[in-house]
Amino acid sequence: MRTSSVLVTGASGEIGHGLITRLAEDGRSIVTIDVTPLAPALGRLVRREFTGSITDTGLLERILAEFEIDLVFHLAALLSTRAEFTPTSAHEVNVEGTLNLLEFSHHEGESHGRPVVFLYPSSIAAYGLPNLETKMRAKRVREDEWNIPITMYGCNKLYCEHLGRYYACHYKQLAADTTAGRVDFRCVRFPGLISAVTVPSGGTSDYAPEMIHAAARGKAYACFVRPDTRIPLMVMPDAIEALLRLASVPRDRLTKTAYNLTAFSPTAEEICDVVTRAFPRASVTWETDLKRQRIVDSWPAEVDDTAARRDWGFAPRYDFARAFDEYLIPTIRERYSS
Ligand code: SER
C-alpha cells in the first residue's frame, strides 16, 4: 500500500535542511533525493532517502513505483558561480533534471488522479540588468521586467519557469485527450538566502552569508563584491515559510507562474557594519572579483513582491534588523559556541 509522501530533491542543501525539519514537525512522510547523503539528524526525519541524481530517470521510476507523491519541492540545482565553470553540467542538472521531475510529477498525477503540487525555487538570477546605471535606476523590479539573465543558472531558472507553466497549462496540447494540469506548478523567485545553520556553496550571493559566518567564527573575510553592492536578501525561516505557504494556498488564488519575494536589500557595507558590531573580532576586507561583481550587478537591487503579498498573503517575518537581532546573531553564536 503506497502512502502519500512529499518528495524533496536537493535535500542536503541549504533550503532542504530547514524544510525537512518543518515538514517532519508537521508529521509529513518525506522522501528525499540528493547526490550527497543527508546528515544523520536529518536522515532520521525522512521515510526514505535516495542518494543519487535527478538526472537518473531509473531512480525516479523506482520512486514512482514505490511511493505516492502528491507534493514536490524541487530544490536540486547547481548555483550561479558554479554553473559558470561547468555550464553544460549545470544545464544537465538544472534543466534536464527539472524536466525529469516534471515528467515524473505528471506521471504521479496521472497514476493517483490528483494534480501533484510542484514547488520550484527560481531566483533573482532570472533577471539581467545590462549595467549598474540601469540597476540603480530600475528600483523595484516586477516579475515581467528585465528577464534577460546573463548567467547559465539564470537562463536555466527562467526557462524552467516556462517549462513548469507548460506542464501545468499546455502539456501535449494537440493530443486527442489533453492531459495538462496533472502538475500544479508554483514558483517563487528567491532573493539571496541567508541561513544561520548552513553556509552555501557555489552561489554569487554567497558574500552575505560567508561574511556573517566568518565573522561569527572570528575569521578574516575578503568580500568579493564592492561595499555599495545591493541585492534583495531573505533569511531561511522566511524562505521556508514562503514555500510552505505557497504550497498550501488554493490554486485559484494564484495569478502568476513565478512570484518575486524579498525581505530587505542592504548594501554589503551595511551587512559588514552590523556583523562587525555583533562580532568585534571580525575583520572584513574588500577584494572585488570583477567577474562575480558583474553578475551581482546584473541582479536587481530591489524586487516588487506585491503579487505574492496580494495573491497568497506572504509577508516576511524578518526585516534587516530582526533578521540579525532575532535570528542570525543568536543562532550563529550558538552554532559556533560548541
Ligand atoms: N543564491 C543564488 C546564487 O547566488 C541566486 O539564486 O546563485
pLDDT tens digits for range 259-286: 999 999 999 999 999 999 999 999 999 9
**192 CA to centre of ligand 1 in angstroms:** 6
Pocket of ligand 1, candidates 81, 84, 205, 303: which has the most ligand atoms within 8 Å of its Cβ, to mutate? 205
Q: Residue 163 pLDDT more than 90? A: yes
Whether 80 lines ligand 1, by a CB cut-off of 6 Å, is: yes
Condensed to tens digits (0 to 9), the pLDDT of residues 3-14 reads 799 999 999 999
- More confident: 181 or 307: 307
pLDDT band at 164 (very low <50, low <70, confident <90, very high): very high
Judge if the beta carbon of residue 203 lies within 6 A of ligand 1: yes
Asked if pLDDT for residue 109 goes beyond 90, the answer is yes
Best residue among 82, 123, 231 to mutate for probing ligand 1's pocket (most ligand atoms within 8 Å of CB) is: 123
According to the model, what pLDDT value does residue 1 have? 58
Note the pTM of the prediction, 2 decimals.
0.97
Confidence of residue 337 (pLDDT cuts 50, 70, 90): confident
Residue nearest to atom 3 of ligand 1 (CA): 203
Q: Which domains does the chain have, with CATH numbers?
A: 77-193+235-262+302-317 (3.40.50.720)
- 205 pocket-lining for ligand 1 (C-beta < 6 Å): yes
CB atoms within 10 A of CB 145: 14
Distance 128 CA to ligand 1 centre (A): 13
Contact in structure between 146 and 127 (CB atoms under 8 Å)? yes
Asked whether residue 139 carries a pLDDT value surpassing 90, the answer given is no
CB of residue 298 inside a 6 A radius of ligand 1 = no
**Residue 6, ligand 1, Cβ within 6 A:** no
**Phi-psi bin for 63: left (phi > 0), alpha (psi -120 to 50), beta?**
alpha
Cell of 180: 495538462
Work out the pLDDT band at 318, boundaries 50, 70, 90.
very high
Which cell numbers hold the place of 119?
Answer: 514547488
Tell which residue, 68, 39, 66, 41, has the closest CA to residue 51.
39
CA distances from 117 to 4, 43, 74, 181 (A): 13, 23, 11, 10
Q: What percent of the chain has pLDDT over 70?
A: 99
Q: Is 12 in the pocket of ligand 1 (CB under 6 A)?
A: no
150 lines ligand 1 (CB under 6 A): no
- What pLDDT band is residue 180 in, cutting at 50, 70 and 90? confident
Q: How far is the CA of 90 from the centre of ligand 1 (A)?
A: 13
Does the pLDDT at position 177 exceed 90?
A: no
Check whether 322 has a pLDDT greater than 90: yes
Span 20-32, pLDDT tens digits: 999 999 999 999 9
Residue 123 in contact with ligand 1 by CB distance below 6 A:
yes
Handedness of CA 51, 55, 57, 58 (dihedral sign): negative
Q: From the alpha carbon of 79, which atom of ligand 1 is closest?
A: 7
> Residue 137 class from Cβ within 10 Å (0-12 exposed, 13-18 middle, 19+ buried)?
exposed
290 vs 156, 226, 230, 276, 293, CA distance in Å?
23, 9, 15, 24, 5
Does any ligand 1 atom lie closer than 6 A to the CB of residue 204? yes
Task: Specify the ligand 1 atom closest to the Cα of 80.
Answer: 7
Give the position, in ligand 1's atom list, of the atom nearest the Cα of 205: 4
Please tell me the predicted confidence (pLDDT) of residue 338.
66
What pLDDT sits at residue 296? 98
Give the pLDDT band (50/70/90) at residue 336.
Answer: confident
**Strand intervals (E) in 209-280:** 220-223, 233-235, 258-260
- The rounded mean pLDDT for the chain is 96
Three cell numbers written together for 192: 539571496
- How confident is the model over 282-297, as a mean pLDDT? 97
Return the minimum-mean-pLDDT range out of 115-129, 241-255, 287-301, 323-337.
323-337
Share of the chain above pLDDT 90, in %: 94
- Which atom of ligand 1 has the smallest separation from the CA of 191? 6
Indicate which atom in ligand 1 lies nearest the CA of residue 193: 1
Model confidence at 317, pLDDT cuts 50, 70, 90, reads very high
